[in-house]
Amino acid sequence: MRLLYSAFLILSLEYAIGELSRDKIHLYKIKDVDFLNTKVERVCLLAEFDAIIVLTNKFSNGSNQEYSLVLPQDATTVGSFCNNKYISRLQLNFHGNSLIFEFARNKIDIEIHEATYCNDCNYGNWYLNQIIGNFSYMGDIIHGTSNVDQLRKGYPGLTNGIGIKRAFKCNKDDNLITLPIHIDQVTHASNGEVGYTDEWQAEIRFFLIHVQPFLVYKEHFSDPYLCRDVTASHVLVILLPLIYFAIFILFYRVKQAYGCPPKRMPWSWKGKMKTGSPSDTKFEIEESANIISGEFTSIQAPCYSDSE
């Protein structure tokens, strides 16, 4: 009983630790009016993030200084919406900053009217269309945007198209995703003057990103499109067929040059000498010697017939 009780305590502790670690990543659930425009709200966008925003201040002397803004788990989502004119938007507001992810889907021939959420349009692809950021740091208001072409240079997997019913998931163990934010305007908060945009750079570094901007079913992520870094297993999948092909070519060349190998190997000669006649044994040894010396190079037929 004591052993069972100890095992139960260990399992309970592991479960509690798992729950606590899971709560560190907040699941954002965006609700919007459904496609039938019945004024009933339903969850239509899901997102989880573990990321930092890195602002780089470039000085005239050539030196740089980085500032990191942690994307908090308690950000508000005022300004978010779903599938309005084929666009879903997730807006995170935190400590005077805002970060907007705009997702688009390929346009299809449906009548949306006033509805904002399409439950039956379950074909096509979605992609990350735009990122908009407004950051306040060191007395400056930094505004930046990145369009789909700029985002594709950072990570093409989010811009090439993902099945409309699927989520996207990636963490640092698979691949560290970094997306650029192009600085459009810098305003000094103290005097309202506009600064030079080339003095700043910005990017988002994701340690985890899990998002589904369309067709959320029962408030759960669907089958995710997983990003994967190039690993040894991928290299083996590519190299193994080439290795087999090289071995096949080598065997074919050796067969052309030396013919078929002896049917009985040298360690069987002793047994053959005990059971067979001396003339048969002598013939096999001579045949093997001729093959090794290359006198049977013209043999092109299969080594052994089916009847043997």
Q: What was the pLDDT predicted at 109?
A: 63
Q: Is the pLDDT of residue 271 over 80?
A: no
Q: What was the pLDDT predicted at 252?
A: 67
What residues have CB less than 8 Å from 128, skipping those under 6 apart? 101, 102, 103, 148, 151, 158, 159
Q: What was the pLDDT predicted at 304?
A: 52
- Which segment of 171-175, 177-181, 200-204, 218-222 scores lowest on mean pLDDT? 171-175
Q: How many residues does the chain have?
A: 308
Q: What is the pLDDT of residues 217-239, one digit of tens each?
A: 889 999 999 987 544 344 444 56
Q: Is the pLDDT of residue 245 over 70?
A: no
Distances (CA, A) of 51 to 39, 65, 171, 181: 34, 19, 10, 14
Distance between start and end Cα atoms, the chain: 67
More confident residue, 268 or 98: 98
E-assigned strands of the chain?
27-33, 41-58, 64-70, 87-94, 97-105, 125-137, 140-147, 162-163, 167-171, 177-188, 200-212, 224-226
Residue 264 pLDDT grade (very low, low, confident, very high; cuts 50, 70, 90)? low
Closest CA to 126 of 153, 97, 150, 157: 157
Q: What was the pLDDT predicted at 24?
A: 75
Domains annotated on the chain, with CATH? 16-229 (2.40.160.110), 233-293 (no CATH)
Question: What tokens appear for 30 in the block?
Answer: 């965006």
Q: Is the pLDDT of residue 266 over 70?
A: no
What residues have CB less than 8 Å from 308, skipping those under 6 apart? 263
Question: What tokens appear for 244 in the block?
Answer: 């087999």
Q: What was the pLDDT predicted at 140?
A: 82
More confident residue, 102 or 231: 102
- For residues 77 and 30, the answer to whether their CB atoms sit within 8 Å is yes
Residue 241 pLDDT grade (very low, low, confident, very high; cuts 50, 70, 90)? low
Residue 35 pLDDT grade (very low, low, confident, very high; cuts 50, 70, 90)? low
- Which segment of 33-37, 86-90, 247-251, 264-268 scores lowest on mean pLDDT? 264-268
Q: Is the pLDDT of residue 292 over 60?
A: no
Q: What is the pLDDT of residues 112-161, one digit of tens each?
A: 555 566 655 777 899 999 999 999 887 788 999 999 999 999 899 999 99
Q: Is the pLDDT of residue 79 over 80?
A: yes
Closest CA to 58 of 160, 171, 238, 198: 198
Q: Is the pLDDT of residue 66 over 50?
A: yes
- For residues 56 and 202, the answer to whether their CB atoms sit within 8 Å is yes
Q: Is the pLDDT of residue 78 over 70?
A: yes
Q: What was the pLDDT predicted at 239?
A: 60
- Which segment of 164-178, 192-206, 229-243 scores lowest on mean pLDDT? 229-243
